[in-house]
Amino acid sequence: MNSSLDVAVREGRLSEADRRHLTRAIELGREGWGRVHPNPMVGAVVARDADVLGEGRHEVLGGAHAEVAALSVAGNARGATLYTSLEPCRHHGKTPPCTEAVRAAGVGRVIFWAADPGRDAGGGGGWLRERGVAVDGPFGGWDDWRAENPFFFHDPARPRPFLAIKLAVSLDGRIAPAGGSRVWLTGPEVRREVHRLRAGFDAILVGRGTWEADDPRLTARGPVTPRVPPVPVLLDRRGRANPELRALKEAAQARGIVATSTERAAALRQRLGALADIVAAPTTPHGLDLGALLAELHRHGVTRVLCEGGGRVAASLLATRLVDRIYLFVAPVFIGSEGVPAFPLGAAVRRPEPPAARPAPRDGDPAGTGGSRFPTRGWQPCADPVRFGEDTLIVLDRSS
Amino acid sequence: MNSSLDVAVREGRLSEADRRHLTRAIELGREGWGRVHPNPMVGAVVARDADVLGEGRHEVLGGAHAEVAALSVAGNARGATLYTSLEPCRHHGKTPPCTEAVRAAGVGRVIFWAADPGRDAGGGGGWLRERGVAVDGPFGGWDDWRAENPFFFHDPARPRPFLAIKLAVSLDGRIAPAGGSRVWLTGPEVRREVHRLRAGFDAILVGRGTWEADDPRLTARGPVTPRVPPVPVLLDRRGRANPELRALKEAAQARGIVATSTERAAALRQRLGALADIVAAPTTPHGLDLGALLAELHRHGVTRVLCEGGGRVAASLLATRLVDRIYLFVAPVFIGSEGVPAFPLGAAVRRPEPPAARPAPRDGDPAGTGGSRFPTRGWQPCADPVRFGEDTLIVLDRSS
């Protein structure tokens, strides 16, 4: 994200103060996590040179947009500059167009980060420019914007949910000791962050191994209270879920979802009654057809899924190439080779070209400069890594 | 590191400006990597409130200390504050005591970060205080100081080298595809960083698998030119090394070292002649006795070893509990379960208490708050994680 702003500063397109205000606008936007979807998270700053006149953010779906909030704090913004993390909208939605508010306030200059791709809302920058406002933006590109607003910049043409996987792994790539004893790899700071993340999704999905062993509640009990609590989704090919499961009994506002095979759906529906919705998918030799299941969940209204494991489900989803984001928490522990591997992946996740087909780098220095690169990239960090207590979070998006 | 300064600011012991100058002093010190050992890396800032009068660092062994360098840039430092990352020394070494230079300059206040543990050099803070200079320090503790100056804050009573392991792993904890085809997991930014790291060590150690397959040069060809180039150390229990190996032929100033078993030492010495020093160690059923080998290397004058693999050597070293630091580069790729595991660790690295002996957390939510923690901690990140291109570096020190 910041690298595109660095480039703009180097090229003289933005001043240092511009960069600071625009970065602040992006930060303000982040506070909308779990509260504004399906709107994007947006923050805005009104400033005159170094002086900040007002800050605002889109706080909750249906409330004021960030630009309007910041202008209202600023009071007199005539001739000032508006920094916003998203191009001002120009459509009448739940609120009037931001473009008209910006123009009415007499703002002299607008600097925006991400382009609004919406057919109706987009194009606000051009609209303002035509009316004599100096406008500069966008900066960066789709990958940067998606890093901040993964749901909003998710390909709208894809008839399936945005899918993120969260896993906690040891330094040697294991998720648990052998024998399935249940222990935390990560510390309390990570658990708090996971609860915060949950608030941004509308469904939390786990495999049978996880709900059988842990009986998790799958609710968002962290620093963000989600506008709409996420729905638990239990994978249950064999139809073994029972009404005592806490995820189903305690699902806050909505009923939980149990995903099972087409064959088991009727019996399960009868057993669970009003406690859960049953979503059915065909089976393959490897288990439920996860692609079909995700499409079915999408038809069911689920748009943002966080899968919390276990490792086998994560590996199966990765093999389908339907995963958009990985939240990988690395704990500073070793488990040993008899532990449960984090991603029991077969060859299916690799790219077609076999690594052996590429010439071995015979200059061979482990830190040398020649040689070929392992071909299975396809993931890229979408943010800087973050330390949570003694653990490290790496967030990866699928390369576009 | 910064958290201890945050605490000091919150408690009113340091001002925001103090924190900024002291942080800058620590940063300046880092530039001594590869140039000042066995001295510590030290940086210093002379300031009057927010205004910086001079900056300095210990640039190379034998050169001016950071405090003297900063005072010399500052010119008139009477009544100013000196910020230094290490307590000013009070001994006559290669240069006169910093304490006397500080006093002669008329500095009014000294703020230092780490305490100097040296019997002769230490105590400079007290010396200055007795002579009427306001002195505040140290901040943080041994773990923080060791993170910055791992060699200087290495336990001097231990008759073996500081040992770091560098490994590049995939997201699923593998270091290479099956079959040993040699490919880079990490990008050019990581290779540059590894060359920089090498400059700080006096020996680069690799196992037989690595030197047989890659024939690496093991030299430091990065942004730092080491004052003394590191010596390559090849593990070679069976005595197979030959005079054509590039690490031996191209060792810059010093001869390389080949470590072999006591039985093979004589034959290998004859074969390699003047090209390499032979260091011998007894064997165990699992290979060379690595503890004995490290002690032998220490007698040979080696004090700072960077092991660059392969995975089996890394795992064996971890099992000996002789590893002080891990540089783990995580590449955004999946290799699959048939790949070579990064740490083929048996039960030996785990703590005595078996995880199964601790009660399973039956409240069981993967992001819950109850439950027990996996017992094998023993490592902690010693710095914030850093992104290098698309890869992530996590640096871990053994918990003290």
| Average pLDDT for B373-399 | 87
The structure tokens 């060590």 sit at B201
Nearest C-alpha in A relative to B309 = A366
Question: B365 vs A217: CB contact, 8 Å cut-off?
Answer: yes
Contacts of A360 in chain B (CB under 8 A): 181-183, 213
Contacts of B387 in chain A (CB under 8 A): 381, 384-385
The span from the CA of A377 to the CA of B334, in Å, is 8
The pLDDT-based confidence of B347 (bands split at 50, 70, 90) is very low
The span from the CA of A171 to the CA of A194, in Å, is 19
Residue A177 CB partners (closer than 8 Å, separation 6+): A183, A335, A336, A338, A339, A340, B355, B356, B374
Contacts of A183 in chain B (CB under 8 A): 355, 358, 360-361, 371-375
C-alpha dihedral, A327 to A333 to A335 to A337, nearest 10°: 80
Contacts of B330 in chain A (CB under 8 A): 328, 330, 394
Question: What tens digit of pLDDT does each residue of B331-345 get?
Answer: 999 888 888 888 887
Question: B184 vs A361: CB contact, 8 Å cut-off?
Answer: yes
- Among A142-146, B115-119, B367-371, B387-391, the minimum mean pLDDT is found in B367-371
Burial of B11 (0-12, 13-18, 19+ CB in 10 A): exposed
- Among A66-75, A370-379, B147-156, the minimum mean pLDDT is found in A370-379
Contact B372, B361 (CB under 8 A): yes
The structure tokens 């879920």 sit at A241
ipTM of the complex: 0.88
| Average pLDDT for A243-258 | 85
How would you classify the pairing of strands A203-206 and A231-235? Answer: parallel
Q: Does B223 lie at the interface with A, CB-CB under 8 angstroms?
A: no
Q: Does B115 lie at the interface with A, CB-CB under 8 angstroms?
A: no
Supply the DSSP symbol for A63: S
Closest CA to A308 of A218, A177, A398: A218
Question: B333 vs A214: CB contact, 8 Å cut-off?
Answer: no
CB atoms within 10 A of CB B252: 14
Contacts of B367 in chain A (CB under 8 A): 191, 194-195, 198, 216, 308
The structure tokens listed for A326 are 């990985």
**In the predicted structure, residue B371 carries a pLDDT above the cut 90:** no
What is the crossing angle of helices B16-30 and B2-10, to 10°?
Answer: 160
In this complex, which of B191, B366, B396 lies closest to A309 when CB atoms are compared? Answer: B366
What is the crossing angle of helices A16-30 and A66-74, to 10°?
Answer: 120
Residue A340: beta bridge partners?
Answer: A176
**In the predicted structure, residue B353 carries a pLDDT above the cut 90:** no
The span from the CA of A207 to the CA of A233, in Å, is 9
**Minimal C-alpha gap between B77 and chain A (Å):** 32
The span from the CA of A339 to the CA of A176, in Å, is 6
Q: What is the per-residue burial (b if ≥16 Cβ within 10 Å, else e) of A290-321?
A: bebbbbbbbebebbbbbbbbbbbbbbbbbbee
Question: A372 vs B169: CB contact, 8 Å cut-off?
Answer: no
pLDDT given at position B124:
94
The span from the CA of B377 to the CA of A331, in Å, is 9
The structure tokens 């759906």 sit at A265
Closest CA to A197 of A395, A33, A385: A33
The span from the CA of A370 to the CA of B215, in Å, is 13
- Among A146-160, A169-183, B9-23, B316-330, the minimum mean pLDDT is found in A169-183
pLDDT given at position B104:
94
**In the predicted structure, residue A346 carries a pLDDT above the cut 70:** no
pLDDT given at position B327:
98
How would you classify the pairing of strands B51-57 and B43-48? Answer: antiparallel
**In the predicted structure, residue B88 carries a pLDDT above the cut 70:** yes
pLDDT given at position A182:
66
Contacts of B372 in chain A (CB under 8 A): 183-184
The span from the CA of A32 to the CA of A23, in Å, is 16
Question: A347 vs B366: CB contact, 8 Å cut-off?
Answer: no
The span from the CA of A123 to the CA of B361, in Å, is 53
Closest CA to A182 of B356, B352, B212: B356
Is A128 strand, coil or helix?
helix
Is B277 strand, coil or helix?
strand
The span from the CA of B15 to the CA of B120, in Å, is 31
**Minimal C-alpha gap between B327 and chain A (Å):** 11
Q: Does A159 lie at the interface with B, CB-CB under 8 angstroms?
A: no
Question: What tens digit of pLDDT does each residue of B97-131 get?
Answer: 999 999 999 999 999 999 998 888 889 999 999 99
Question: B218 vs A173: CB contact, 8 Å cut-off?
Answer: no
Q: H or E segment at B288?
A: strand B287-288
| Average pLDDT for A198-226 | 94
Q: Does A143 lie at the interface with B, CB-CB under 8 angstroms?
A: no
Q: Which residues of A are catalytic?
A: 67
**Minimal C-alpha gap between A326 and chain B (Å):** 10
Question: A184 vs B372: CB contact, 8 Å cut-off?
Answer: yes
Tell me phi and psi for residue B303, to 5 degrees: -120, -15
Nearest C-alpha in A relative to B218 = A365
Residues 313-332, chain B: which have Cβ within 8 Å of A? Answer: 318, 326, 328, 330-332
The structure tokens listed for B82 are 């000196």
pLDDT given at position B311:
86
pLDDT given at position A345:
75
Contact A367, B214 (CB under 8 A): no
Q: Does B173 lie at the interface with A, CB-CB under 8 angstroms?
A: yes
Is B81 strand, coil or helix?
strand
